[in-house]
A = this chain, B = another copy of it.
Amino acid sequence: MNVPTTVEKPGSRELSYAEALREAMGLALERDDRVILMGEDIGVYGGAFQVTGDLVDRFGTDRVRDTPISELGGAGVAVGAALTGLRPIFEFQFSDFAMLAMEQIANQAAKLRYMLGGEASVPVVMRMPGGSGTGAAAQHSQSLEAWFGHVPGLKVVQPSTPEDAKGLLLAALEDPDPVIIFEHKMLYKMKGEVPEGWYTTPIGKAAIRREGTDVTIVASAIMVHRALAAADELAKDGISVEVIDLRSVRPIDRETIIASVKKTGKLVCVYEGVRTLGVGAEISAMIAESEAFDFLDAPIQRLGGAEAPIPYNPELEKAAVPQTPGIVDCVRKLVGGQV
- Chain A residues within 8 Å of B, Cβ to Cβ: 72, 96-97, 99-100, 102-103, 106-107, 110-111, 114-115, 137-139, 146-147, 149-153, 250, 252, 273-274, 276-282, 284-285, 287-290, 293-294, 298-302, 306-309, 311, 339
Cα(A146)–Cα(B279), bound, Å: 12
**Interchain CB contact under 8 A, B276 and A281:** no
Cα(A339)–Cα(B139), bound, Å: 43
Given contacts A99-B106, A99-B107, A300 and B285 within 8 Å (CB-CB): yes
Cα(A287)–Cα(B289), bound, Å: 12
Q: Which residues of B contact A151 (CB under 8 A)?
A: 274
Q: Which residues of B contact A290 (CB under 8 A)?
A: 299
Cα(A146)–Cα(B107), bound, Å: 16
**Interchain CB contact under 8 A, B102 and A99:** yes
Given contacts A152-B307, A301-B289, A309-B152, A277 and B282 within 8 Å (CB-CB): yes
Q: Which residues of B contact A273 (CB under 8 A)?
A: 150
A to B CB contacts below 8 Å, 10 in the list: A97-B103, A114-B309, A115-B138, A146-B277, A149-B276, A149-B277, A281-B281, A288-B299, A289-B339, A293-B298
Q: Which residue of B lies closest to A139 (CB)?
A: B107
Cα(A72)–Cα(B100), bound, Å: 8
Q: Which residue of B lies closest to A250 (CB)?
A: B276
Most buried by B among A111, A289, A308: A289
Cα(A46)–Cα(B277), bound, Å: 35
Given contacts A115-B137, A309-B114, A284 and B288 within 8 Å (CB-CB): yes
Cα(A102)–Cα(B298), bound, Å: 38
**Interchain CB contact under 8 A, A111 and B99:** no
